[in-house]
Structure 1
Amino acid sequence: MIRKPFDKHWRNFLFICLIPIFVFQCRPNGLKNHCDPNQSSYLQNLTLLLGVSESAYYCGNLIQSPFFNKIKIPRFIIVTNVGLDAATSSISVFRINPNTGEISQVSGSPFQLSNRPRFTVTNSTGTVVYVPNIGNKSVSVLNLNPETGSLSLKHPDLVLSSTPYSLALDPNGKYLYASSEQNPEIHRMAIGSNDNLTILSPAMPTSNPSGGSVGRLSFDSKGNHLYVGLTSAPGNNAGIQVFSLDPSTGNLSSINVYITGINNLSLGISPNGKFVYGSNYSSENVFPFVRDINSGTLSIQTSISAGVAPGYTIVDPLNRFVYVANSGTGQGTISAYLIEPSNGTLTPVNGSPFSTGFSPIGLCTDPRGKFLYSSNTEGGNISGFSIGENGVLTPLSGFPVTAGTNPFSIEMVSY
């Protein structure tokens, strides 16, 4: 006797809540009572439709589900070939088959538009590529054609006061940051309406130990905090420095420095923002951190061994695994680790480390966590793997694929 009126009120409450979410209105219809919000079938049908799709036609309206996150489709892989000099450096662009993971070089690739490029970072629309160059201490701004994959120069190179190494683009697309391979500092740049760059002075000093410079930079997904790998002279411990970002000015404020080991060249942040991983090039280990999502501060966990000269760290897009490129000369492996969801600690994946080309220095994955690729500097090529449900890497057919001279970074662009 009590259940029926309760159910009726509950349905009415859910309907009221759904109106602002789905932004549409249905009127009762005698011939189509499934469009009557007072009918039990109404909410059931709506839930079923939006449970399997990001949108659906219902009661004459196109309804978008706020709970369905569209996963981008990978289209291109960009590889920087640092070369031996300006004449032998280039940027290769490959088209990717999102179903098989196979890649093929686009027409006109490789492109000689930069001067010994180290890394690339692409804007959120996948149309502009920023490139740090060690050949002339500059940052290049390139157009990326989303249909053909061709690259073209968009703006003249912006010359910096010291050689840039890695780039980080704030998620709001207002600022670009470049680590310095020579000095303990971070270059700050504002991005204009036409994607041009303007230097913001002064550069931000970092807390490297004596003889250190700056490695990889990485923002959290919300753009509140910048995490910086600190390198060091032999025998001096370094680590990770955390900065907060002022979104109105682009200024960085140091929060803390966390010591890990010798030469923290690279770091990776889990997509859910819960964990940070730093790989120490000379200490040959990986340090997990638990991250406070609000303050950006870190709590260090127990380290785990890596291979020879770990130079790049990445977390798969589903927050399951950490992969580390071991870039030592004359060998090539990728260490794979399973993430403990509660505290971020790492356990080696069965069969790890996995063989790849000589001296892998860059890694990337597709948005669905199906494939992983490495750029192999000494090997001059790209390796491709499928990612198993247990984190195991299985070589893909058709790899390795030849790149340019001394391929360095590898980035996937998805739309």
Structure 2
Amino acid sequence: MNKLLTCLLLGISLTAQAQSGKEIMYVGTYSIRGSEGIYVFEFDRKTGTMQPIQSVSNAKSPSFLAIHPTGKYLYSVNEGADKLGGVSSYAIDKATGKLQFMNGQSSLGGGPCYISIDQTGKTAFVANYGGGSLAVLPINTDGSLSAPSDSVQDAGTGPNTQRQDKPHVHSATLAPDNRFVYVADLTTDKLNIFDVNAKTSTVKPASTPYIAVKPGSGPRHFTFHPNGKYAYLVEELTSTVAVLSRNAKTGALTMIEDNVKTLSDGFTGQNTSADIHIDPSGKFLYQSNRGANTLAIFAIGSDGKLTKVGDQPTEGKTPRNFLIDPKGDFIFVAHQDSDNITIFKRDQKTGKLTFTGQSVKVPAAVCVIMANR
């Protein structure tokens, strides 16, 4: 075969791959009901279907996942690790999306439940729910994790004696400018703000070190509007959302609306809110509700305020993390207690969702993310 023909065939092959619409997805799970650990899928955008391509053994509940900015590495918290917690790193095969374990480190606290990677790709931030602390881990040039270089132990209690008996750090979210990390503590009803030193992988309290929400609300997950001016906080225990504005210079937050109701008027059962995301256009916000088993849908005004659009049943039990795909066409919902991921088509004009009928079996699904490709 001559070189010209080889190049033509290679070009045809690459074009076919680009047009196939297939993308790689990763699912984190709890190590129960037969879960093997982390599951790898190929998503075909044209057909709206997910096909399994790998399962990666991890018996310590690799529940929450994050991908390195280069797309070369994946990280999981190991929520079922011992009292010192655990974090794992994996190399991603760019051709297939498959994972290869690299190394693990302690997170210096029990029950790690959230991990994020800064934009330089040099630092990982881990929220320890059980330990009530934040851990900061340097990332080596080969993508593997170093031992923690910094940690912050929270303290306090809240009015909900069952859920707020001791600190429960639930998330660590990087600011769009990578200068600050926002750390939600479900117990203290505070969103703590830290300055990030990307060179040394350390943190210190920002000049305005936190913002408090209504006592008993239970801050959980946090997200920024694409314009960087506004941010939104899940209040787990009251099934509400807080709307905030952000000072880009100091990182300080100001409350615009607090305790915005996410449940429908007719719902009377028990519920806790979980995850929150904004579509790529910045027009709509979605928040998952466990108990009601719905996604609350809000339109976002030019002032950042929210207007309820509706509630979408998620076709499963206990929706945890969910994913809005980068193009804004689909939403994938991970269900902890019905062992499935459901796929919805999204109307980009109205924000409303339509169930595609696709339900993918994954034991104790907790987190679903899509690769940078």
TM-score by length of 1: 0.75
Indicate the residue corresponding to 1:185 in structure 2. 133
Question: 1:251, CA displacement in angstroms?
Answer: 1.8
Distance, in Å, in 2 between the alignment partners of 1:313 and 1:74 is 25
Indicate the residue corresponding to 1:366 in structure 2. 325
Deviations 1:248-281 (A, max 9, x none): 2122122222122422121111222121111111
Indicate the residue corresponding to 1:5 in structure 2. none
Deviations 1:219-249 (A, max 9, x none): 12221111111111xxxx6031121211221
Indicate the residue corresponding to 1:142 in structure 2. 90
Letter in 2 for 1:409: C
Letter in 2 for 1:360: P
Distance, in Å, in 2 between the alignment partners of 1:217 and 1:74 is 30
Letter in 2 for 1:347: T
Equivalent residues, number: 329
Indicate the residue corresponding to 1:250 in structure 2. 201
**Compared CA separation, residues 322 and 183, structure 1 to 2 (3 A):** same
Question: 1:202, CA displacement in angstroms?
Answer: 4.1
Deviations 1:270-312 (A, max 9, x none): 2221211111111111001011222211111123112321111
Structure 1 residue corresponding to 2:230, chosen from 268, 275, 297: 275
Paired residues for 1:57-76 under 5 Å: 75-76=23-24
Distance, in Å, in 2 between the alignment partners of 1:138 and 1:200 is 11
Give % identity.
20
User: Would you say the 8 A contact 1:120–1:129 is kept in 2?
Assistant: yes
Matched, 1:95 2:76: no
> Deviation above 4 Å: which 4+ runs of structure 1?
none
SS at match of 1:302: strand
Question: 1:125, CA displacement in angstroms?
Answer: 2.3
Question: 1:102, CA displacement in angstroms?
Answer: 2.2
Letter in 1 for 2:225: S
Question: 1:159, CA displacement in angstroms?
Answer: 2.4
Aligned Cα RMSD in Å?
A: 1.9
Paired residues for 1:375-390 under 5 Å: 375-388=334-347, 389-390=349-350
Matched, 1:115 2:60: yes
Question: 1:199, CA displacement in angstroms?
Answer: 2.3
User: Would you say the 8 A contact 1:176–1:189 is kept in 2?
Assistant: yes
Indicate the residue corresponding to 2:212 in structure 1. 259
Structure 1 residue corresponding to 2:278, chosen from 291, 305, 315: 315
Structure 1 residue corresponding to 2:355, chosen from 357, 379, 395: 395
**Structure 2 portions without partners, runs of 5+:** 1-20, 159-165, 264-270
Indicate the residue corresponding to 1:14 in structure 2. none
User: Would you say the 8 A contact 1:89–1:117 is kept in 2?
Assistant: no
Indicate the residue corresponding to 1:352 in structure 2. 311
Question: 1:123, CA displacement in angstroms?
Answer: 0.8
Question: 1:201, CA displacement in angstroms?
Answer: 4.1
Structure 1 residue corresponding to 2:297, chosen from 317, 336, 339: 336
Question: 1:178, CA displacement in angstroms?
Answer: 0.5
User: Would you say the 8 A contact 2:234–2:276 is kept in 1?
Assistant: yes
User: Would you say the 8 A contact 2:138–2:149 is kept in 1?
Assistant: no
Indicate the residue corresponding to 1:412 in structure 2. 370
TM-score by length of 2: 0.83
Letter in 1 for 2:261: S
Distance, in Å, in 1 between the alignment partners of 2:121 and 2:324 is 22
Structure 1 residue corresponding to 2:250, chosen from 292, 295, 306: 295
Larger % of strand: which?
A: 2
**Structure 1 portions without partners, runs of 5+:** 1-72
Distance, in Å, in 2 between the alignment partners of 1:74 and 1:365 is 16
Question: 1:212, CA displacement in angstroms?
Answer: 1.8
Distance, in Å, in 2 between the alignment partners of 1:242 and 1:352 is 32
Distance, in Å, in 2 between the alignment partners of 1:386 and 1:189 is 37
Letter in 2 for 1:299: T
Distance, in Å, in 2 between the alignment partners of 1:406 and 1:188 is 27
